[in-house]
Structure 1
Amino acid sequence: MSNANTHVNVVTESLDNIQRIKAVAPGLHANGACALCILRATQVPIGPAYLQPQADIHRALEIDTSVASTASACSLCLSILSPDIFDQITLKYKEQAFDSSTVCISVELPKSIYIRQRSMQIYVKSAVIDLKDVIKYISGNRIAEACDVAIDGDSDMRIECAFRHEETLLDHQFLVDREGSSIKIKSFRKKGIDYTTGDSLGAVLAELSKCDDSVVASKFGSPPPLVKTAAEIESLVFRRASLFIGGRYLKLQRNISQTPFVVDGKRMTELSVSEVIGEPIKELALCDSYNLVGSGREDADVRMLGDGRPFYIECINPRKTNISQDLISQIEDQLIQENSPVQCRLLQIIKPEDTRIIKEGEENKTKHYCALVWFASVLSKETLEEINQVGSSEIVLQQNTPIRVLHRRSPLVRPRKLLRLEITHIEGHFYKVRIESEAGTYIKEFVHGDLGRTSPSLSSLAGGIVADILELDVENVSLDFPPKSV
């Protein structure tokens, strides 16, 4: 049996009342309906019949295609159901090489489709199978077969397809012109481009629902007017849920920012933590872009030592998510081999909900610092003992927003706790200061006082002797992250 005969049999076996359908099919064809829209208009349930070539559907319904319609495109679906459309969607998705085992499909149709569907329902005196459902069924089957995926409405891999049809942009004008119409169109110009608002899909559907069939038939027409052009894909977007990779980073040199530090188009630091770690992760996940989110951030001139700072990389729209731990760990190894000033450890894929630990930790974590401090005068032994005595207990600071960040933070006084403070003399005017503080404490301002905006300060604890911080290291961020894998 030939393929064509097989396809014809599939169609005929799917039809409950084939004689009734055969009776109306030629008329629908003459009025511009494509083979698949004839199935829709005669309430053929979505199934295998919709996957057959349109020529075989015509043959099964005994439609004489030599009696051609004067329409150049389908008057009901605007030829959105043409094989070329599904070829484009399938090919583009396959080219992206996503490793997802499932996919879901969403469709955005021109407003005119809904008016034409209503017009056809009036003509055939029954409901018409929804176009979106047919598109999803056919494209889903095509993609499933070509890319070995399953169609799942809950999939984190989405195909979003929007269509446009210039010829029928004003199909809804009769709804706008109706007496008492709720559609109020406003026009405006922005950056040299003309825009209109008020005729959204929701507004058009709401007004259409108020119209009697007789109004639609007389003002718009029934069956739908013929068209000369086919709809086009306006946008085709493949959108996948983000992949999150967490770990802890170390910054072994100064003058490295956490994220790219650019002012007026000029880079202020040569390296950033996010680029050093994020770029190899991007290559691994084949994502569009990435964001680094850290549990706080140190200044560019501050080193991050100890166990490192907790962070995660969000991989946006990743093609690959089935990444082995061995491949991820190779990023750590590669940075070590390159003697990179940025290192990372405990790098691993984490669950989306694990990212909350970073946000919640902003309020609960504590940090340990080591600072090299210069005093204008050498401190006496008694002064050192007094500072260490005070530092053995909790100190509550009142920190006004530092002058250096006033341009980006609200001017507020924030209480901050120092849990431990210890100072030791190195030589001359130089001292080592160790501090344990709660999150959000400005350590540099605590040392020099920020012109009195932080109180008390190390300078004030030393009897008002001018102090300045020369070097600062973060030695520990006490946050349990990333969570241990089960």
Structure 2
Amino acid sequence: MYDADDIFITVELPKSIYIRHRAMQLFCEDESTILGSSSEAIDVKETIRYMISERLSSACNVEMTGDSEMRVDVMFGHQESATEHLFLFEREKSSVKLKTFRKKGVIMTTGDSKASVLNELAACSEDEFRADTSCPPSTVSTKAEINMVTMKRASLFVGGRYLKLKRNISQTPFVIEGRRITEDSVAEIIGEPIKLITGCDSYNLVGSGREDSDVRMLGNGRPFYIECINPRIKKHSVEKIQQIQKTLLEENSSVQVYNLQIIQSKDTSIIKEGEEQKTKHYCALVWFSQLLTEEKLTELNNIGKQEMIIDQKTPIRVLHRRAPLTRPKKILSLEIKHIEGHFYRVRIESGAGTYIKEFVHGDLGRTIPSLASMTGTTADILELDVENVSLDFPPPLSTIQC
């Protein structure tokens, strides 16, 4: 059940209706000439749409508008006249070649779309048309039937920021050749309770970037929105949406959300538009094959106080899905502190799109410079956390208690 206040009806009629409408137009023209009075063929499609609209409006107590976000598509079929339009494609001047095939014992035709029929009908001269059809069209003995009714509604968008407190959780379901690589995903942990209250067919999570499955998302969280496809329920109180984040908190979920709220479609543009402007803060646990001297640490930290441009070739680990390019990226700040032994805490602020893991280990020389090349050692990143994504999204809700 949809909670829409208004709807828009579309009607798709059998292709033969366009042939029959043309035949009736010609018949009315003939009658007008003979009788000396004017008459027109009724627009069957608009008549049927009006009849359906009136009944639905009365039965469902909704308004019929031309700009409604709720659309009902009604498709009619009529087997008896199903082939009446095919003569259009058998003409020598036809630009469309039909293909026929058998499916479950029934002969099917492709290429005779509504657009093709209307184009061929426009190109068919009156003499050709009269030669292959009767005016008025012949009567039929069966009624048209409703083959399909589909209901579609504009998407609902829910935005917020998420925290991923544990590792080995992908942002979206991670499946390779039918096998799940990670058990959980951020999209499902947040999206399933949203799907439950909206009754949507499906949902998509769009984040302002994404962290690897083995990387935590901490700090102020990552901006995201979930698009609910064809939602049945769109009218939700602020409290009902906030209850989702409260429930995740009470259940001590590995994914938390805050500032969760319904947003407008136009509000989602900042997620993509801000992709190249945002900066990110990272904290990494790094192992170096050799101990770094105090002099080297001081040198690196001094370098890290200035913006640094690095050249990154597409990392080996993503070459299967990204073009092999070299891209300049920004390291805005760098700070390294010794923990113990060969272990160091590294904090990095970078521009958008920087591959931090590759900046640390160098990716076999594909990232220049890297921490490995700057220290003259082998560097390996053991843990990585995102601590901040600097994008102002969504608007804060003062009523939310995190």
1:276 aligns with 2:189: yes
**1:115 is aligned to 2:19:** yes
Three-state SS of the structure 2 residue aligned to 1:256 is coil
Cα drift, residue 218 of structure 1: 5.1
How far apart are the structure 2 equivalents of 1:190 and 1:432? 67
Q: Does the 8 Å CA contact 1:376/1:465 hold for their aligned counterparts?
A: yes
Tell me the residue number matched to 2:367: 454
Q: Percent identity over the alignment? A: 60
Q: Could you tell me how far apart the structure 1 residues matched to 2:163 and 2:124 are?
A: 67
Q: Distance in 1 between matches of 2:171 and 2:213?
A: 7
Of 66, 78, 81 in structure 2, the residue corresponding to residue 165 of structure 1 is 78
Cα 1:172–1:371 change in 2 (3 A) is: same
* Residue aligning to 1:420: 333
Select which of 249, 252, 259 maps to 1:346. Answer: 259
* 1:40 counterpart residue number: none
Find the aligned partners of 1:231 and 1:360 in 2 and give their Cα distance: 49
Closer, same or farther in 2 for the Cα pair 1:212/1:189, shift >3 Å? Answer: closer
For 1:28, the equivalent position in structure 2 comes to: none
Q: For each residue in 1:15-48, what CA deviation from the matched residue of structure 2 results, as whole angstroms up to 9, or x when unmatched? A: xxxxxxxxxxxxxxxxxxxxxxxxxxxxxxxxxx
Decide whether aligned partners of structure 1 residues 175 and 301 sit closer, same or farther in structure 2, where only a CA change above 3 A counts.
Answer: closer
CA distance in 2, matches of 1:485, 1:150: 33
- How far does residue 177 in structure 1 lie from its aligned partner after superposition? 4.2
Mapping for residues 223-372 of structure 1, pairs under 5 Å: 223-372=136-285
Contact 2:223-2:393 within 8 A present in 1 as well:
yes
| SS in structure 2 at match of 1:314 | strand
Point out the structure with max Rg over C-alpha. 1
Alpha-carbon separation, structure 2, partners of 1:302 and 1:209: 60
* Contact 1:354-1:483 within 8 A present in 2 as well: no
Q: Does 1:481 align with 2:393?
A: yes
1:105–1:354: structure 2 CA closer, same or farther, 3 Å change rule?
Answer: same
The structural deviation recorded for 1:198 is: 4.4
Give the 3 Å change call, closer, same or farther, for CA 184–408 of structure 1 in structure 2: closer
Cα distance, 1:465–1:131 mapped onto 2, change above 3 Å: same
Q: How far off is 1:191 after superposition? A: 9.5
Instruction: Map Cα deviations across residues 424-451 of structure 1 (whole Å, 9 max, x no partner).
Output: 0111111000000001000001111111
Report the 3-state secondary structure (helix = DSSP H, G, I; strand = E; otherwise coil) of the residue aligned with 2:274.
helix
Q: Any conservation in 2 of the 1:187–1:194 contact (CA below 8 Å)?
A: no
TM-score, scaled relative to structure 2: 0.91
1:99 aligns with 2:11: no
Report the CA distance shift for 1:330/1:167 in structure 2 as closer, same or farther (over 3 A). Answer: same
Change over 3 Å in CA distance of 1:163–1:183 after alignment to 2? farther
Kindly provide the amino acid, as one letter, of the partner of residue 298 in structure 2: E
Shift of 1:201: 2.7
Give me the CA root mean square deviation: 2.1
Counterpart in the other structure of 1:154: 67
Whether the aligned pair in 1 keeps the contact of 2:96 and 2:116 (CA below 8 Å) is no
**Which structure 2 residue ranges, 5 or more long, are not aligned?**
32-38
Q: Distance in 2 between matches of 1:265 and 1:122?
A: 58
What's 1:68 paired with? none
Partner amino acid, structure 1, of 2:6: T
Preserved CA contact (<8 Å) 1:183 1:204: no
- Please list, as runs of the form range in 1=range in 2, the aligned pairs for 1:31-50 lying within 5 A after superposition: none
| Residues 1:442 and 2:347 are matched in the alignment | no
- 3-state SS, counterpart of residue 362 of structure 1: coil
Give the equivalent residue in structure 1 for 2:51.
138
Instruction: Please say which of residues 389-398 and 205-214 is displaced more in the overlay.
Output: 205-214
Q: 2 CA distance for matches of 1:452 and 1:190?
A: 57
1:42 is matched with: none
1:242 maps to amino acid: S
Aligned-pair CA distance for 1:283: 0.6
1:372–1:470 Cα contact (<8 Å) kept: yes
Q: Which amino acid aligns with 2:52?
A: S
Per the normalisation by structure 1, the TM-score is: 0.76
**SS of residue in 1 equivalent to 2:275:** helix
Distance 1:285 1:326 in 2: 14
Would the aligned equivalents of 1:370 and 1:433 in 2 still touch at CA under 8 Å? yes
Decide which of 374, 380, 384 is 1:472's aligned counterpart.
384
- Gap change, CA 1:411 and 1:142, over 3 Å in 2: same
Q: Which residue of 1 aligns with 2:99?
A: 187
Task: Compare 189-198 and 432-441 and name the one that shifted more.
Answer: 189-198
Letter in 1 for 2:385: D
* Residues 12-31 of structure 1: pairs in structure 2 closer than 5 A: none
Q: Distance in 1 between matches of 2:103 and 2:366?
A: 45
Mapped contact 1:421–1:435 kept (Cα < 8 A): yes
1:43 maps to which residue? Answer: none
C-alpha spacing 1:210/1:365, structure 2 compared with 1 (3 Å) = closer
Alignment length, in residue pairs? 388
Structure 1: state its 5+ residue gaps: 1-96
Kindly provide the amino acid, as one letter, of the partner of residue 224 in structure 2.
F
Q: Would you tell me which structure has more helix in proportion to its own residues?
A: 1
Q: 1:191 to 1:467 in 2, by over 3 A?
A: farther
Please say if residues 423 and 431 of structure 1, whose CA atoms lie closer than 8 Å, have aligned partners that are also in contact. Answer: yes
Which residue does 2:315 correspond to in 1?
A: 402
Q: 1:298 to 1:206 in 2, by over 3 A?
A: closer
CA contact (8 A) 1:183 1:203 kept: no
How many Å separate the matches in 1 of 2:277 and 2:181?
Answer: 32
Give the strand-richer structure, 1 or 2. Answer: 2
Letter paired with 1:256: I
Q: CA deviation at 1:346?
A: 0.4
Deviation digits for residues 188-216 of structure 1 (CA, Å, limit 9, x no counterpart): 65999976444333333344345566654
Aligned-residue offset at 1:102: 0.8
